Amino acid sequence: MAEDRLVRLTIGLPSDVHLALEEMSEELSRPIADLVRDAILEHLASDRWTGIGETAEALLRNGLTNEEVLAEVRRRFPKANTSAASVAWYRSNLRKRDDAVPTDAQARRNRER
């Protein structure tokens, strides 16, 4: 990282997040900027950094209905233009690779039980 040129970034945080960072900064004797940078780098390097497709497929594998998947995708990605047809396509595409993934009708029946 010492060789990389750092770029200044200004962001706004909710006050409770800022207070938590201040407390952590004092406990660890490290600047808030270092804590935030480390957290961002860790997040980017982890498997948690997923897009809409990966998120939809994971939810479909967990047995959610198309309607439930669409609602969750829209919650996690509020600016996305994901539609019911998109979720149906993800399910169809996923089922071609993994027949253990239920159809939407099967997922709905499982939810009703």
Tell me the per-residue pLDDT of 78-98, one tens digit each, with 9 for 90 and over.
888 999 999 999 999 999 999
CA 18, 20, 24, 26 dihedral sign is: positive
Reported confidence tier of residue 2, pLDDT bands at 50, 70, 90: low
3-state helix, strand, coil in the chain (%, to 5): 65, 0, 35
User: What is the C-alpha to C-alpha distance for residues 89 and 86, in angstroms, rounded to an integer?
Assistant: 5
Residue 37's Cβ-count burial label (10 Å; 0-12, 13-18, 19+) is middle
- Please report, for residues 23, 30, 45, 83, the alpha-carbon distance to residue 26 in angstroms, rounded to integers and kept in the order given: 5, 7, 26, 46
Tokens read off for 54: 């990966």
Q: How much is the average pLDDT of 35-43? A: 86
Q: Is the pLDDT of residue 45 over 80?
A: no
Query: What is the model's pLDDT at position 46?
Result: 67
Mean confidence (pLDDT) of the chain: 89
The domain spans of the chain are 1-49, 52-112
The CATH architecture to which 1-49 belongs is Orthogonal Bundle (1.10)
